[in-house]
Amino acid sequence: MTTSERRRGRPREQRVDDAVRRATLELLAEVGYGALSIEGVAARAGVGKPTIYRRYRSKAELVFVTAIHPLELGPSPDTGSLEGDLVDLVQAIIGVFRRPAAARAVPGLIEDVSRDPELARRFRDRFVEPERLWVGEILDRAVERDELGVRPDPDLVHALLLGPVFSWIFLARNPVRRGLAKELAEHVSRAIVPAR
């Protein structure tokens, strides 16, 4: 491995993070989620297994953070309207699920999480809860703008946003057409804004 370019003043930890991230994305694309291993990522990144286990508790967590991480980001940007905020969020979800690494990782991740209650609990705390808070912020702003009278259940709205995108791409496996984010967001907006 050539490491000369990586030595220009960036801290070693950052270089290791980058190498692990790159190795994970490469291996996801090459061998898929099922055949990816912590050993393989360590070898490709030129680090030891303990280096990876200090950062991630499991293969599932490594892959989720690396391939799907942006959903964890916040705060949610304020576009000025509920529908605008929802379009942005649905577009972000579509963007994540369409990345080759995520598309290859998601089904296997779901299976791992479904088989391991402890992993499922950690996923809930680490990923589902932040997404729920993100949705909650969007709803709070809509209430402040008087677009919503009553704040709907964030769990339900989360399901109405994430679920159809997942179903479109991974269950029905429809092609993602231009404007899909806007169509879905408009529908969800109508679903949660009560008739006046």
Binding site for a second copy (CB under 8 A): 32-34, 103-104, 106-108, 110-111, 113-115, 120, 123-124, 128, 132, 155-156, 158-160, 162-168, 170-174, 183-184, 187-188, 190-192, 195
DSSP conformation class of 93:
H
User: How many C-alpha atoms does 155 have within 13 Å on its Cβ side?
Assistant: 1
Residue 66 or 189 having the CB closest to a second copy: 189
Query: Residue 76: which of 10, 167, 9, 154 has the closest Cα?
Result: 154
Residue 72 or 155 having the CB closest to a second copy: 155
Task: For the CB of residue 51, give the shortest distance to a second copy in the complex, in Å.
Answer: 28
User: How many C-alpha atoms does 40 have within 13 Å on its Cβ side?
Assistant: 17
Residue 32 or 80 having the CB closest to a second copy: 32
Task: For the CB of residue 89, give the shortest distance to a second copy in the complex, in Å.
Answer: 14
Query: Residue 145: which of 88, 181, 189 has the closest Cα?
Result: 189
Q: What is the dihedral of CA 85, 88, 91, 93, to 10 degrees?
A: -70
Residue 53 or 170 having the CB closest to a second copy: 170
Task: For the CB of residue 95, give the shortest distance to a second copy in the complex, in Å.
Answer: 17
Token readout for 177 is: 């057409």
Task: For the CB of residue 72, give the shortest distance to a second copy in the complex, in Å.
Answer: 14
Residue 77 or 107 having the CB closest to a second copy: 107
Task: For the CB of residue 103, give the shortest distance to a second copy in the complex, in Å.
Answer: 8
Residue pointed to by tokens 């942006």? 70
Q: Answer yes or no: are the C-beta atoms of 108 and 114 closer than 8 Å.
A: no
